[in-house]
Amino acid sequence: MKLKANFLVNKSIKSDRWPDYTDDRYQIRLPYLSEKFLVPTSSQRILTGSALISVCSIDLFVTQQSAQPLRRAVEQLARYFRREFHYDFCQYSADDDDPDHRAYLWIDRYEPQYRCHTCFYPVIGACCFRHRRYDEHPLPPGIPPDHYALQWIWFHPYQRNQGHLTKALPYFQEQFSRLIAEPPFSPAMDAFLKKHHCWPYENDEQRTWIYSRTTSHA
């Protein structure tokens, strides 16, 4: 005699009562940009920096004046950043009115899709720098009163530990003098800053300060 397993479909259960496996909370849908937004890497430069795209690995520079598809791509990855690290709000909007912000996009040029005779590329990473001005004192050691700070950065999980940020670091240091990232740091970001001696790991004073901050909030 054969016994029916408990997990077999119960005909009394309607299909619309089954879990929704397409729930957006558990999926990553990368934005795609058409090839018209991509300038050939042999000639493209970001702002007036001397670092070529092919060297620093960054593909696109986004400002308040950039086209909406570029800004929406930044916003979509900012939403994934918020979701992963449980922030209360999204750090970037396609309608961002900050005239001084500087966002950057990384594109996977090896995984294009073709639609209507047009090539589209997935955006696999994004970050945003904000211009910070502080009047209060004292500031954390090594922090100038007027500077650009890395507010957030996010890569698709498959694209992490691939050296994207390491290749971009010389460009960021050239553009902003130093790489100053705003805490709190993820374990991966903290390890990156330590490895490359970026703030707050440039000297012992900074290390003591960040250590006191992390232990006091533990």
| Domain assignment of residue 35, yes or no | yes
H-helix or E-strand containing 191? helix 187-195
Please compute, for residue 37, the number of CA atoms within 13 A of its CA located in the half-sphere on the CB side: 23
The dihedrals phi and psi of 15, each to the nearest 5 degrees, come to -60, -30
Please check whether residue 75 lies inside any domain of the structure: yes
- The two tokens of residue 167 are 């290749």
| Number of domains observed in the structure of the chain | 1
pLDDT in the model for residue 117? 83
Query: Who's near 88: CB < 8 A, 6+ residues apart?
Result: none
Q: Is residue 205 part of a domain?
A: no
C-alpha 60 chain-centroid distance? 13
For the stretch 90-148, pLDDT in tens is 999 999 999 999 999 999 988 888 888 889 999 999 999 999 998 877 889 999 999 99
With cut-offs at 50, 70 and 90, classify the pLDDT of residue 216: low
What percentage of the chain carries pLDDT values higher than 90? 62
Establish if 99 belongs to a structural domain.
yes
Cβ count within 10 A of residue 144: 12
Taking CA atoms, 116 is separated from 42, 73, 119, 120, in Å, by 26, 21, 8, 10
pTM of the full structure = 0.82
| Strand residue runs (E) in 172-216 | none
In a domain, 63, yes or no: yes
Structure confidence at residue 48 (pLDDT): 44
- The parent domain of residue 64 ranges over 30-177
pLDDT band at 19, cuts 50/70/90?
low
Residue 172 forms part of a structural domain: yes
- Tell me if 129 is assigned to some domain: yes
- Asked, for residue 41, whether it belongs to a domain, the answer is yes
For the segment 22-74, what is each residue's pLDDT rounded down to a tens digit? 556 778 999 999 988 886 443 345 544 445 555 678 889 999 999 999 999 99
Number of helices (H), then strands (E), belonging to the chain: the values are 5, 6
Query: Nearest Cα to 52, choosing from 177, 179, 171, 169?
Result: 171
Which CATH number do you get for residue 120?
Answer: 3.40.630
Among 18, 28, 6, 38, smallest CA distance to 154 is for: 28
- Tokens for 78, please give them: 């900012």
